[in-house]
Structure 1
């Protein structure tokens, strides 16, 4: 979504719909990670997936909540301040 040429409501909704149809429930939009609830279990929350995101930069793997949490953890370890994560 961060790569959209025209950032307006129809383009955003179309992008989210297409990603959801491909079961890509996580989408980066600038600094944010947008999540669409699939209302079903998906195999995206297991140790193998956690390890796939561990220690990687946000640009090195597809969008996922594990990327956000690992990034926050790495920033905490290196003493970087001024970071906040909001989960709604």
Structure 2
């Protein structure tokens, strides 16, 4: 089993990182950083990276994202 940081877009896999060279504790720290950034954008409605307010459609997509650390036997498949 290998460790992956999986990014879900709704119920489908939208991206992933891994297999990761570190353990679950480090993965959880990094996952929590992504979650905190997501919460900040949701609260403010502003993207510092794009330097503008986000559209309703963009906000919907951001709200639908989830970040999870998962042990998997096989590499995650996008849109699975």
| TM-score, L = length of structure 2 | 0.29
| TM-score, L = length of structure 1 | 0.27
- If each structure's strand is expressed as a fraction of its own residues, which one has the higher value? 2
